[in-house]
Chain A
């Protein structure tokens, strides 16, 4: 470490908790915060504290929100009969950026991962079940990630939700728009071939 200072060590350790930040980057961040004007450091710490205090989870879809229920759940113009299930708020943000989806969401807070000790109780599965039982939802779109854990979660949900009388579908996997086939990996291509659709 650069300095014999426990408080600098603590700051570096704090930055290292962030996803994608290693030792080097954490040291860079710490140095920046310490050598920039004090105002800069206050700006960052205030922003973190403020956001943390204002933001809660939506009582309906479990996403991060400043208002409860969140803007999407509270919007009467959205289609309240469809719920798209995602692992994390970032998935919801990605679909919202696409702008084509007009239904509601449900954030699971992760995916089934026995090795990490994550089972259905660690996720918001039962809250999703209660939402379906309570309201007039008739379609569920499972948009968990295309990883082993995301696929396992999708299959688990399809069986868990089957008795509730809703239609459950999985988003398609395939080649990216505007992308040449030669850029797609073999597994994506084989999934894209399996999930082919009829023309005309």
Chain B
């Protein structure tokens, strides 16, 4: 998949912007706060109608304006697809190939992107909920039935926790919700395990390539053993759940264990290792998406070289398959030597304006 053209009006500091990246590597260069990240954010927004930096859309509109518009035209296989999202006074209008769409789900999957940004550091160094959110988002995009099960699971858990808050919770009132938690939770755990099993070897391969043969592993961790049905785990934990007045077993308590160089990455890895591990997971996702759609998604790397030494930075560039279209932001001029060898298209951003170098 290849982004042919991005246009933005009043999106953050970008106005009247037209960006035509080349195939392969594109470097977006500029000082801090000039709009480099906003360009990547605009590509992500055109693909998903979501930003990685904010969930409040009014943050995205240029100061003093009330309307923004983002449009992306991409080449996929032999076809061209264009998406356009216009936001005006709090309402969002989505068009795909010029046709209005009523649901965000009709936009998803038209343009596939994978983004790695400083915010993704939380995937490795943040709390378990960051990793569960990552799994849930990836799997919800893969299958609609995952999202349904997730919503029903959460609903059943709110109901069960409400019963647990009663003065004397009656087992007969917990049973029905246990059954629903078990039905949906089992499916969530099965899909997550399957996804992690596919992701882990790809992430390890990417990590090894970047980190000079250091090993990385990703394992799905659950208090509920794989061979114990969730309904039995819930039954076994019932008296302690009643004491603690919360549901202590199930996919909402699980985690993704990331180990680098035989150390738990969250506590013991260096910042560079954590960053490399996060990037390796994203590169693995890139491969998984290609297996699923037959085409590499567009790769967006925001400030990827900060915290990485020169050798790792170089390896990042060689690890990205040459047929992937990649947009990289950087302030680091020293790195251009490494980049230049890959013959990238370079653009400069100054105060939201592009100049092609």
Q: Does B176 have its Cβ within 8 Å of any Cβ on chain A?
A: yes
B163 to chain A, nearest CB (A): 5
By a CB distance below 8 angstroms, the chain A residues around B148 are 186-187
Interface residues of A in 96-138 (CB under 8 A from B): 112-115, 119-120
B172 to chain A, nearest CB (A): 6
Q: Does A168 have its Cβ within 8 Å of any Cβ on chain B?
A: no
Known contacts A115-B162, A187-B145: A148-B175 contact under CB 8 Å: no
Interface residues of A in 144-161 (CB under 8 A from B): 148-149, 151-156, 159-160
Q: Does A90 have its Cβ within 8 Å of any Cβ on chain B?
A: no
By a CB distance below 8 angstroms, the chain B residues around A112 are 173, 176
- Of A148, A149, A190, the most chain B CB neighbours within 10 A belong to A148
Tell me if A148 and B156 are in contact (CB < 8 A).
Answer: yes
Bound Cα distance A155, B148 (Å): 21
Tell me if A155 and B145 are in contact (CB < 8 A).
Answer: no
Tell me if B173 and A113 are in contact (CB < 8 A).
Answer: no
Chain B contact residues: helix, strand, loop or mixed:
helix
Tell me if A186 and B173 are in contact (CB < 8 A).
Answer: no
Interface residues of A in 171-190 (CB under 8 A from B): 186-187, 190
- Of A120, A152, A160, A187, the most chain B CB neighbours within 10 A belong to A152
Tell me if B159 and A152 are in contact (CB < 8 A).
Answer: yes
Tell me if A159 and B172 are in contact (CB < 8 A).
Answer: yes
Bound Cα distance A162, B173 (Å): 15
Tell me if B162 and A148 are in contact (CB < 8 A).
Answer: no
By a CB distance below 8 angstroms, the chain B residues around A153 are 176
Report which of A113, A151, A159, A190 forms a contact with B180, defined as CB distance below 8 A. Answer: A151
Bound Cα distance A156, B159 (Å): 14
Bound Cα distance A120, B170 (Å): 11
Known contacts A148-B152, A151-B180, A152-B159: A160-B173 contact under CB 8 Å: no
What count of chain B residues pass the 8 Å CB interface test?
A: 19
A114 to chain B, nearest CB (A): 4
Report which of B144, B159, B175 forms a contact with A115, defined as CB distance below 8 A. Answer: B159
A83 to chain B, nearest CB (A): 20
Tell me if B159 and A148 are in contact (CB < 8 A).
Answer: yes
What count of chain A residues pass the 8 Å CB interface test?
A: 19
A113 to chain B, nearest CB (A): 7
By a CB distance below 8 angstroms, the chain A residues around B158 are 115
By a CB distance below 8 angstroms, the chain B residues around A151 are 176, 179-180
- Of B156, B177, B179, B180, the most chain A CB neighbours within 10 A belong to B177
Q: Does B155 have its Cβ within 8 Å of any Cβ on chain A?
A: yes
Residue-wise, chain A 70-105 has the 8 Å CB interface mask toward B (1 for contact) of: 000000000000000000000000000000000000
By a CB distance below 8 angstroms, the chain A residues around B175 are 155-156, 159
A41 to chain B, nearest CB (A): 38
Tell me if B162 and A114 are in contact (CB < 8 A).
Answer: yes
Report which of A119, A148, A187, A190 forms a contact with B173, defined as CB distance below 8 A. Answer: A119
Residue-wise, chain B 160-192 has the 8 Å CB interface mask toward A (1 for contact) of: 101100100000110111011000000000000
Known contacts A148-B159, A152-B159, A186-B145: A114-B173 contact under CB 8 Å: yes
Bound Cα distance A149, B155 (Å): 10
- Of A114, A149, A155, A159, the most chain B CB neighbours within 10 A belong to A114
By a CB distance below 8 angstroms, the chain B residues around A115 are 158-159, 162
Tell me if B176 and A155 are in contact (CB < 8 A).
Answer: yes
Tell me if A152 and B145 are in contact (CB < 8 A).
Answer: no
- New A-B pairs, 5, CB < 8 Å, besides A113-B159, A115-B159, A120-B173: A114-B163, A115-B162, A148-B156, A149-B159, A186-B144
Using a CB–CB cutoff of 8 Å, the interface residues on chain A facing chain B are 112-115, 119-120, 148-149, 151-156, 159-160, 186-187, 190
Q: Which 9 A-B pairs have CB atoms at the shortest separation, nearest pair first?
A: A152-B176, A114-B162, A155-B176, A114-B163, A156-B176, A114-B159, A186-B145, A115-B162, A148-B155
Pull 23 A–B residue pairs with CB atoms less than 8 Å apart, ordered by A: A112-B176, A113-B159, A114-B162, A114-B166, A114-B177, A115-B158, A115-B162, A119-B173, A148-B152, A148-B159, A151-B176, A152-B159, A152-B176, A152-B180, A154-B176, A155-B175, A155-B179, A156-B175, A156-B176, A159-B175, A160-B172, A186-B144, A190-B145
